[in-house]
Amino acid sequence: MKFNAEFKEEYLENWPHRWYTLAPQERRSALLEQCRRSPDNADDNRRRAVFDQRFDASFNDLFLQAWMMLKTADVQAPGFFLKKKYERDVRREFARLGLNGETPDEILKEEWKQFADMMIRMYLTSPSYRSAVFGMGAVNDRNTALRLASEIEAVTKTVPERASLGELVLPFRTVLLERFTALIPDGEAILAEVQSR
Tell me: the pLDDT tens digits for 144-158?
Answer: 888 899 999 999 998
Q: Quick one: average pLDDT of 12-32?
A: 63
4-13, 128-137, 140-149, 180-189: segment of lowest average pLDDT: 4-13
Tell me: the pLDDT tens digits for 55-73?
Answer: 887 878 889 999 999 988 8
Whether the pLDDT of residue 136 is over 60: the answer is yes
Residue % of the chain over a pLDDT of 70: 78
pLDDT value, residue 144: 85
**E strand or H helix that includes residue 137:** strand 136-138
Alpha-carbon span 86 to 65, nearest angstrom: 17
pLDDT value, residue 14: 56
28-37, 54-63, 103-112: segment of lowest average pLDDT: 28-37
Q: How many residues does the chain have?
A: 197
Q: Quick one: average pLDDT of 95-110?
A: 89
Q: Cβ distance 91 to 165 under 8 Å?
A: yes
Q: Quick one: average pLDDT of 78-103?
A: 85
| pLDDT tier at 104, thresholds 50, 70, 90 | confident
The residue extents of the domains of the chain are 6-59, 61-195
Between 133 and 144, whose confidence is greater? 144
The helix/strand/coil state of 192 is helix
